[in-house]
Amino acid sequence: MKAIVLARVSTEEQKEAGNSLPAQQARLERYCTQKGFEIVKVFSFDESAYKTKRIEFSEVIKEVQKYQEKIVFCCDKIDRLTRNVFDQNVGILEELRKKGLIELHFVSDNVVLHQDSPATDLFRFTIGTSLAKYFSDAIRDNVKRALEQKIRMGEWIGRACYGYKNITDEAGKKTIVVDEFTSRIVVKVYEWYATGAFSFSLIRAKLKTDYNVNFSQGYLDKILKDPFYYGMMRIKGTLYPHKYTQLISKELYDQVQAIKANHNKKPFKYAGKLYVYRGLIRCAHCGLAITPEKHKGHVYYHCTQHNGKHGAEWLREEELTKQLAGVFLRMKVPDDVVNDIINNLKVVHEGKVEFRAEQMAELTKERELYAKRTERIYLDRLDGRITEQVYDSFYTQFREKIADLDGRIALLQQAEDKYYITATYLLELANRAHELFLSSEIEEKRQLIKLTLQNLRLEGKTLRYDAIKPFNTILNFSDCQTWYPVPDSNRRFSG
């Protein structure tokens, strides 16, 4: 039979003993020779099985599918083929195996899979893919933990932003330092804009004149919004303190943000009258916006059918209001259930606050200890009791420990107990939603809808919607009548 050979290593395993590409390829070719297989194609490449797009492996699948007769597919181990039992390419190979068009040979694992493979061999393959996936997950978790540790140490995990530069220090460790030229530009940009007398256009012109630097408006805006310059690094929307030199103060940064927020901001106004549901609802049939029109003292909403007639209905505003009011009425949670939930949250909240206070005290005490040790070794160096080399070694250790503690303290300080406050607010809002909706002004009605519902669409004369979390859960409980446990004999079910 003809055979296709695959030797693969992922990036993290290239140095694994006995698993190099040459070693795998030699092993597989020797196996095919012993079995009398004719090797028609050899694939050998480095490619992680965890990549979203496994380009080279896809080429292997295309080659396998070219042959009309039964072929042998040789791989060293199961985890050379896949790290994911749900891999689409592996699924294709499985379909070919079931049809009798391919045999899968895993040489080092001593597993051969064919159309009539017994359950024991199939089980070994399933276990192999599961273990391989576990291994990849473990690697991913290790990388994630390493990055989290760097963040706790106040270390930036990407390329240095403008005003700084990436270097490798004398110890061979990668770090970030201030760039003398570009850092001056950053400081000047903040100082100019903070006066309120410089627009983006004026700053860009001045940068060109004074420093021969060309910034786009978007890049200038990016610099003026980056908290890194005052000591905080933004990672996935969350701010963490970093250990690098600050270029500006927090006060200057806040001053710039305030000016940016108020600069040329004008409230948006509709071209005509502000209708309650204008721009909030789309047609369930074609996706176009539902348009309001006033006729004979009544406001009607309808699809323009701009993409083609489909018999769209016209619906009066009062009917839409009635349907939405019914939704908000269903959000009401029994008062005693609300009280129970809030009381439980309060107990958890109080325990968390106490725990955080204890942690803060311990971390602060430990930081003071290392700060005093830093001061002592400095005096020891001045008095000649320790060498400069010993001082540098201890100083680096102590500063890294202090940076780690600063990061942990900052995280505690920033950790607001929003879960309790938010949960209480949302429960109270759900209970008053019906009342608020009926009594509010137009803009307040719109805000309430945006806060609780999404994807509003008109299907005939029925308003469809998706509730936003946690209001979807509240509505589900309300629909299923499951707020309270009831005796089995009285339990009601809804389909």
pLDDT tens, residue by residue, 301-357: 999 888 889 889 999 999 999 999 999 888 887 777 767 666 665 665 565 566 667
Which residue among 145, 180, 209 closes a domain?
Answer: 145
Of the candidates 116, 145, 174, which is a domain's last residue? 145
**Residue where the block lists tokens 């009062």:** 318
Within this chain, do residues 434 and 358 fall inside the same structural domain, yes or no? yes
Give 226's pLDDT tier (boundaries 50, 70, 90): very high
Q: Residue 287 falls within a domain, yes or no? A: no
Residue 484 domain-assigned?
yes
Report the pLDDT averaged over residues 41-52.
63
Amino acid 237: pLDDT? 84
Beta strands (DSSP E) in 310-424 are 315-316
Distances (CA, A) of 203 to 255, 421, 443: 17, 43, 38
Q: For residue 470, is the peptide bond before it cis, meaning its omega torsion is within 30 degrees of 0?
A: yes
Residues 257 and 355 in one domain: no
275 within a domain of the structure (yes/no): no
Reply yes or no on whether the pLDDT at 249 is more than 80: yes
> What six digits make up the tokens of 22?
């040459």
Domain that holds residue 238: 164-262
Residue 264 has pLDDT above 60, yes or no: no
3-state secondary structure of 48: coil
Query: Which residue from 8, 93, 17, 21 is spatially nearest to 54, judged by alpha carbons?
Result: 8
Predicted pLDDT of residue 383:
85
% of the chain exceeding 70 in pLDDT:
77
478: tokens are 């309300």
3 state SS of 46: strand
Query: What are the CA-CA distances from residue 269 to residues 20, 266, 275 (Å)?
Result: 66, 9, 12
Phi-psi domain of 283 (left: phi exceeds 0; alpha: psi -120 through 50; beta: other): beta
369: tokens are 């200890």
Instruction: Provide, rounded to the nearest whole percent, the portion of the chain with pLDDT above 90.
Output: 20
The DSSP result for 195-250, as a single string, is TT---HHHHHHHHHHHH-----HHHHHHHHH-GGGGTEEEETTEEEE-SSPPSS-H
* Measured distance CA(374)–CA(352) in Å, rounded: 33
Structural domain contains residue 157 = no
Q: How far apart are CA 411 and CA 417, in angstroms?
A: 12
Work out the burial of residue 356: count CB atoms within 10 Å of its CB; fewer than 13 is exposed, 13-18 middle, 19 or more buried: middle
pLDDT tens digits for 94-104? 888 888 899 99
Residue 114 has pLDDT above 80, yes or no: yes
Cα(398)–Cα(373) distance, rounded to whole angstroms?
8
Return the half-sphere exposure (C-beta side, CA atoms, 13 A cut-off) of residue 106: 18
278 within domain boundaries: no
Higher per-residue pLDDT: 404 or 51: 404
**Paired tokens of 142:** 């290790």
pLDDT of residue 393: 84
Q: Which residues contact 412 (CB under 8 A, 6 or more apart)?
A: 356, 359, 360, 363
| Lowest mean pLDDT across 80-89, 166-175, 264-273, 464-473 | 264-273
Evaluate whether residue 155 is within a structural domain. Answer: no
- Kindly give the pairing relationship between strand 2-9 and strand 38-46: parallel
Say yes or no: 74 and 119 in one domain.
Answer: yes
Residue 8, classed as helix, strand or coil, is strand
Q: What CA–CA distance (Å, rounded) separates 19 from 14?
A: 8
- Our count of domains for the chain comes to 3
3-state secondary structure of 156: coil
Model pLDDT, residue 403: 75
Average pLDDT, the chain: 79
Same domain assignment for residues 217 and 326: no
Asked whether residue 191 falls in the same domain as residue 97, the answer is no
Q: What is the mean pLDDT of residues 149-153?
A: 79
Residues 77 and 183 in one domain: no
Greater confidence, 137 or 202?
202
Report pLDDT for 412. Answer: 60
196, 227, 262 — which closes off a domain? 262
137 and 180 belong to one structural domain: no
Beta strand pairing status for 174-178 and 2-9?
unpaired
pLDDT in tens, 153-196: 888 888 899 999 999 877 778 889 999 899 999 999 998 888 76
Residues 173 and 319 in one domain: no
The pLDDT value recorded for residue 197 is 60
- Residue 420 pLDDT greater than 60, yes or no: no
- Is 240 within the bounds of a domain? yes
Residue 375 or 17, more confident: 375
Among 9-13, 133-137, 183-187, 358-362, which stretch is predicted with the lowest mean pLDDT? Answer: 9-13
Contact 458, 301 (CB under 8 A): yes
Q: What is the per-residue DSSP string for 413-438? A: HH---HHHHHHHHHHHHHHHHHHHHH
Handedness of CA 285, 286, 292, 297 (dihedral sign): negative
Q: What's 181's domain CATH number?
A: 3.90.1750.20
What tokens does 86 get?
């749900």
What pLDDT is attached to residue 266?
Answer: 45
* 37-41, 199-203, 281-285, 385-389: range with lowest mean pLDDT: 199-203
Of 185-194, 293-302, 359-368, 469-478, the least confident: 469-478
Q: Is the same domain home to 192 and 119?
A: no
**pLDDT range class, residue 410, cuts 50, 70, 90:** low
Q: In this structure, what are the phi and psi dihedrals at residue 312, rounded to the nearest 5 degrees?
A: -65, 140
- 137 and 172 housed in the same domain: no
> Would residue 494 count as lying in a domain?
yes
pTM attached to this predicted model: 0.36
Q: What is the pLDDT of residue 216?
A: 92
Same domain, 200 and 140: no
The better pLDDT of the pair 282, 332 is held by 282
pLDDT at position 464 is 93
At 351 the pLDDT is 56
Contact call for residues 170 and 250 (beta carbons, < 8 A): no
Q: Are residues 366 and 433 in the same domain?
A: yes
